[in-house]
Structure 1
Amino acid sequence: MEIDRVQMSEERDGGARHSIFRKAQRPLFLKFENVVYKVKTTTTTTTTTGHSSRGGKSVKQSEKVILKGISGSALPGEMTVMLGPSGSGKTTLLTLLGGRVSTTHRLTGSITYNGSPFSSSLKRGIGFVTQDDLLYPHLTVDETLYYTALLRLPKTHTREEKAKLAEAVMEQLGLTACRNGIIGGPLLRGISGGERKRVSIGQEMLINPSLLLLDEPTSGLDSTTAGRIVSTLWELSRGSRTVVMTIHQPSSRLFYMFDKILLLSEGNPVYYGKGSEAMGYFASIGHSPTVAMNPADFLLDLANGVSSDGVSAEEDRASTKEALVSAYKLHLEAPVAEELSGLCIQCKQDESEKATKTKKWCTSWSQQFSVLLERDLKERKHEAFSSTSMLQVFAIAILCGILWFRSSRKPEDQLGLLFFVNGFWGFFPAFEAIYTFPQERTMLSKERSSGMYRLSSYFAARMVGDLPMELILPVAFVSIMYWMTGLKRRAANFFMTLATILLNVLVSQGLGLAIGALVMDVKSAGMMASVIMQAFMLTGGFYMQHLPAFIGWIKYVSFNYYSFKLQLVSQFSRDETYQCTPTTRCRIADMPTAKMVGFDHVPLAVVMLFIMLVFYRLVAYVGLMRVGAKN
């Protein structure tokens, strides 16, 4: 997405900072004809037999038509708005126009961009702003736009140039006053809702899109803030840019800014044309407001089946909707089809545009990795070192130190300590990691759909970024607990115990990541992880020494079993003895737990843990391939 170097030089020389976005990179003519979209639905009904209240359940699958033959166009320099009540199909149509629906086998009709169908290279010229502002809460406005610029602008620009472009966007959208404010979230106070919406728009404006799609950009905002945002969008459309958005209930002031309106009712088109001609059209078919009112409110009443005389009985609403659909087919369907057939589409492309299409990614893998790693470290440090996590870890460490204080002469107690520590650092990282990908699913899908980065670069940055944050707390835990509990005070024993726990943490985290990525539902993933972890612990060699043959194999796939073996070896040797009775010393190797786990095959235990470390992360990566664009 090249931006004019001459304009950029004007920016560096102190010229008009807004000039870099005055013109779109390439005018884009959007046309959609007879779009029909269906989804499969499942209905469960309960049947009764005779006088009994008991019965069976029957599952019936059917298809629901969401869009019923929608046609229209959006041209450069225009702001096209989709109006309609909730459930009318506005967001579905907008998502289809943005190429963000993968189930194309349920879609009929045609959607073309300058005469061509949607392609993976085309999406880098399309900006898509979702209704919910999907932003990282702990990043500032400046950081959010800066990292977006680094990922979405081509590598032909330097970091300094990308930073200047991010600065220009902030100035253009009036965000300079809050540039150092964090985005915030439901439980974290940050910038205002209007400012968050402008940040979302700014992320898309960085690529200087030819087509800008916005889903409910004024949702939840006061009229003044909504007016500022729509005014900004209107100015953006003047730069040969195609702007299409859905809006639920605009004010009259906003209504008169719309160039073209598409009014939907239950998936049917009831009006398509110039915004200034909408009231005249409905007056011509017998629908005029009886009192002065906002035109948008009047149109929405009609789309809901409420006629101009205010009649709102259910049967009358249905007949009103049917009459509007019939009127559209009679008066507007043919003119719309004629307009679309005569629409001039600029299909010729110069060599530079063809060359751009061959580039699959704007930035290299290493650039994506470094930017994602930097962003991840800034965002996730607040989660990894939250007061709750730190309090939990330090409290358990001190509690262990108190309960096992000076237990050096009691190996049976020390084995219990080692197994508890092994279990704690099996459960804690796994359940922390389960939330990772389900919580980031919407963000990952959004960014991948925009073609920001490869899945492999995101995954690698996430794994590397997790290392310091996931390992600092276990190091602090062992440093507190180890010396209080009377374990062997030799450096070799301490570091072997620490290394075993850290390896255990990484394997456990990988298991949590894999389960979260495969299930993508926190509740279901938590239940699955709980069952798996309990099975691993019960067969880990401490609770049961004689496992039934049909289930004993579980210990060989349990990382608890291998890590407990390494912890045993880190503190004891095979021939070491202890005072088992007042007059007798016994070998550690003869203790039931030590005998079950054993002192042999130590290298195999290390190898198995490393295999699990890699395997679980590969499973997590495969699970993530279902999210977002499959690139």
Structure 2
Amino acid sequence: MNADGFPVVPVGGHSGHVEADYGDIGGKPADVTDDQSLSQSMSRVAAADGTDISFDPYFATREDANRNQSTTKYNRQPLTLKWEDLKFEVPVGRSATGLPCLKGNEEKGMKTILSGCSGEIRPGGLLAIMGSSGAGKTTLLNLLAGRVTSAKGSQSTGRVLVNGEKRDFSKFRQVASYVLQDDDLFAELTVREQVEFGAMLRLPNTMPVEKKQLAVDRVITELSLSKVANTNIGNELVRGVSGGERKRVSIGTELVTNRSMLFLDEPTRGLDAFNALNVISTLRRLAYNGRTVVTTIHQPRSNIYSMFDMLLLLSQGRVMYFGPAKDAVAYFSALSFHCPAQFNPANYFIDLVSVDSRSPDAEAVTKKRVAVLADKYSNSAPMITEYGEDSEAGSQRIANEADTQLRKRKYQNSWFTEVRYLAVRACKQMVRERTANFSRLGQTIVFSIVLGLIWLNAGRNDTAADARSLVGILFFLLINQCFGGAVAV
């Protein structure tokens, strides 16, 4: 019996606590199999009614066994994304604004955000971009997603290839989706309505409504949102779904068009460890279904780290490591930087490549270490990957599919259809915003009484004063309606 009164039955002859060594691959000890690690890390615990309530800490890693069992894996065009020698610079000092700088800030020139970044991610792979704050993670993600080419005064060099061909931005946006850090969703809409709205506007008008509804149902099921499909999304002020579910709704809104490539900026931001695990599990499942998934993430827990196929580690805009996530610990160990046992590799890597600015001496040492690691990586041979699909085999089929899928209209629906769906959404929001509606009603009643008292019996006579009063009333009502509409928006 344990401390809570549950009967404990040892599995495989083991009992007691078994320490897990995260120092090898970040998910489980490298020298044991799945079955062995299960028996060593878990004892079967039964509730009073005999229900098995035991917990497997490696359940996320064990899902690898179903990696290639998806029935929808080839329902979309596979895309391989490759980037070569990406560099991004922004102006600083006088060059940034064209105005004189404050005293002490006269330095001007270009600041390098990214320097010589290269890599590749294939269909079926999940790439995690990690690094400390200011390392250039979001900048790299935006460059890969085609959201940043060259801002005012900035300069970008290098090239991005899609299936070996130069990227066409107009076509690339039709097969790739981008999920922002913040969930810009409507709190008054339900989960299903939010996903439906994206489907109705972004799927072609030639597709029957029944097929669009099937696509919505498939996305909701794939993201494990069926239980909250009819629940309002909510926000900080309006009660709704949980943070992890809200993040999955954001992913589903982009996923409903069956895009082949998915970019996400900090999808676990603001989530607790369990909800973060659920979100990354969803992304891994989406990747294994044939998509190419690229995400930035900040210090994931160890079993989240074990889900990544590829890891790109950045520091000060330079690549510290790019290759299979499971080989990162061995790579740094070969450079005499050993990740301690029972230590989260993600935390170790962030600490290893971060610049410590608390003192001049610490800053100098850490900058030197970052420079050495960057030079070591740039001089090392490319690492062999063993994941995803071989997109080169059958490249002609992929090219034909690309021509079919990318040859689309700029707008999938007519302007009348878009206005109709926007009007329906606005009406639903207005009806469901009870607090705002009561506020508007109270404001209208108060203004009606006040204005009625001010202009009481005005305009009953045909005098010039009454005419001016009528003009004043009409002017005030017009201004009130204009400003009231602006406040409502």
TM-score bracket for this pair, using the shorter chain length = 0.7 to 0.9
Q: Tell me which structure has the larger Cα radius of gyration.
A: 1
Aligned to 1:298, which of 348, 353, 356? 348
Mapped pair 1:433 → 2:482: no
Q: Return closer, same or farther for 1:183/1:320 CA change in 2, 3 Å cut-off.
A: same
Aligned to 2:403, which of 354, 359, 370? 354
Give the secondary structure class of the aligned counterpart of 2:169.
coil
Mapped pair 1:412 → 2:444: no
Aligned-pair CA distance for 1:335? 6.0
Q: Return closer, same or farther for 1:290/1:232 CA change in 2, 3 Å cut-off.
A: closer
Report if the CA contact (8 A) 2:123-2:391 is conserved.
Answer: no
- CA-to-aligned-CA distance 1:538-590 (integer Å, 9 cap, x gap): xxxxxxxxxxxxxxxxxxxxxxxxxxxxxxxxxxxxxxxxxxxxxxxxxxxxx
Report if the CA contact (8 A) 2:83-2:161 is conserved.
Answer: yes
> 1:249 maps to what in 2?
299
> 1:363 maps to what in 2?
413
Aligned-pair CA distance for 1:388? 2.8
Aligned-pair CA distance for 1:154? 2.2
Structure 2 unaligned spans of 5+: 1-68, 95-99, 385-389
Report if the CA contact (8 A) 1:125-1:210 is conserved.
Answer: yes
**Matches of 1:165 and 1:403 in 2, distance apart?**
58
**Matches of 2:392 and 2:407 in 1, distance apart?**
26
Mapped pair 1:94 → 2:141: yes
Aligned to 1:219, which of 266, 269, 273? 269
More moved, 270-279 vs 213-222: 213-222
Aligned-pair CA distance for 1:244? 1.0
**Matches of 1:31 and 1:321 in 2, distance apart?**
25
Mapped pair 1:111 → 2:160: yes
**Matches of 2:361 and 2:216 in 1, distance apart?**
50
Q: Return closer, same or farther for 1:216/1:148 CA change in 2, 3 Å cut-off.
A: same
> 2:424 maps to what in 1?
374
**Matches of 1:316 and 1:142 in 2, distance apart?**
53
**Matches of 1:58 and 1:88 in 2, distance apart?**
23
Structure 1 unaligned spans of 5+: 1-17, 48-56, 337-341, 437-631
Residue type of the partner of 1:358?
A: R
Report if the CA contact (8 A) 2:87-2:116 is conserved.
Answer: yes
> 1:228 maps to what in 2?
278
> 1:185 maps to what in 2?
235
Report if the CA contact (8 A) 1:114-1:347 is conserved.
Answer: no
> 1:386 maps to what in 2?
437
Give the secondary structure class of the aligned counterpart of 1:189.
coil
Residue type of the partner of 1:250?
A: P
| TM-score normalised per structure 1 | 0.58
> 1:398 maps to what in 2?
449
> 2:58 maps to what in 1?
none
**Matches of 1:42 and 1:382 in 2, distance apart?**
49
Aligned-pair CA distance for 1:205? 1.9
Map residues 447-486 of structure 1 onto 2, 5 A cutoff: none
Map residues 18-417 of structure 1 onto 2, 5 A cutoff: 21-42=72-93, 45-47=101-103, 62-103=109-150, 106-116=155-165, 117-290=167-340, 292-305=342-355, 313-332=362-381, 344=392, 346=395, 353-360=402-409, 361-380=411-430, 386-407=437-458, 408-409=460-461, 412=465, 415-416=468-469
Q: Return closer, same or farther for 1:41/1:185 CA change in 2, 3 Å cut-off.
A: farther
**Matches of 2:442 and 2:346 in 1, distance apart?**
54
Report if the CA contact (8 A) 1:404-1:413 is conserved.
Answer: no
Which is helix-richer, 1 or 2? 1
Residue type of the partner of 1:29?
A: T
Give the secondary structure class of the aligned counterpart of 1:186.
coil
Give the secondary structure class of the aligned counterpart of 2:187.
coil
Report if the CA contact (8 A) 1:21-1:208 is conserved.
Answer: no
Q: Return closer, same or farther for 1:66/1:381 CA change in 2, 3 Å cut-off.
A: farther
Give the secondary structure class of the aligned counterpart of 1:164.
helix
> 1:516 maps to what in 2?
none
**Matches of 2:157 and 2:101 in 1, distance apart?**
30
- CA-to-aligned-CA distance 1:246-280 (integer Å, 9 cap, x gap): 11010111111111100000111000111111011
**Matches of 1:379 and 1:65 in 2, distance apart?**
45
- CA-to-aligned-CA distance 1:274-310 (integer Å, 9 cap, x gap): 111101111111211345310000001012147xxxx
- CA-to-aligned-CA distance 1:156-208 (integer Å, 9 cap, x gap): 32112211221221122121221222122232222111110110111122122
Report if the CA contact (8 A) 2:115-2:317 is conserved.
Answer: yes
**Matches of 2:214 and 2:70 in 1, distance apart?**
13
Aligned-pair CA distance for 1:25? 0.8
Residue type of the partner of 1:227?
A: L
> 1:450 maps to what in 2?
none
Higher RCO structure (Cα 8 Å, ≥6 apart): 2
Residue type of the partner of 2:476?
A: G
Q: Return closer, same or farther for 1:102/1:315 CA change in 2, 3 Å cut-off.
A: closer
More moved, 37-46 vs 63-72: 37-46
Give the secondary structure class of the aligned counterpart of 1:386.
helix
Map residues 481-630 of structure 1 onto 2, 5 A cutoff: none
Give the secondary structure class of the aligned counterpart of 1:120.
helix
**Matches of 2:101 and 2:415 in 1, distance apart?**
51
Q: Return closer, same or farther for 1:314/1:291 CA change in 2, 3 Å cut-off.
A: farther
Report if the CA contact (8 A) 2:126-2:309 is conserved.
Answer: yes
Report if the CA contact (8 A) 1:23-1:241 is conserved.
Answer: no
**Matches of 2:134 and 2:191 in 1, distance apart?**
33
- CA-to-aligned-CA distance 1:94-116 (integer Å, 9 cap, x gap): 11111112427721001011122
Residue type of the partner of 2:486?
A: A
Give the secondary structure class of the aligned counterpart of 1:233.
helix
Report if the CA contact (8 A) 2:77-2:398 is conserved.
Answer: no
Give the secondary structure class of the aligned counterpart of 1:273.
strand
**Matches of 2:192 and 2:102 in 1, distance apart?**
55
Q: Return closer, same or farther for 1:101/1:380 CA change in 2, 3 Å cut-off.
A: farther
**Matches of 2:227 and 2:268 in 1, distance apart?**
21
**Matches of 2:348 and 2:107 in 1, distance apart?**
38
- What is the RMSD computed on CA atoms of the aligned residues? 2.9
Q: Return closer, same or farther for 1:273/1:177 CA change in 2, 3 Å cut-off.
A: same
Aligned-pair CA distance for 1:350? 5.6
Give the secondary structure class of the aligned counterpart of 2:102.
strand
Identity among equivalent pairs (%): 34
Give the secondary structure class of the aligned counterpart of 2:406.
helix
| TM-score normalised per structure 2 | 0.74
**Matches of 2:232 and 2:158 in 1, distance apart?**
43
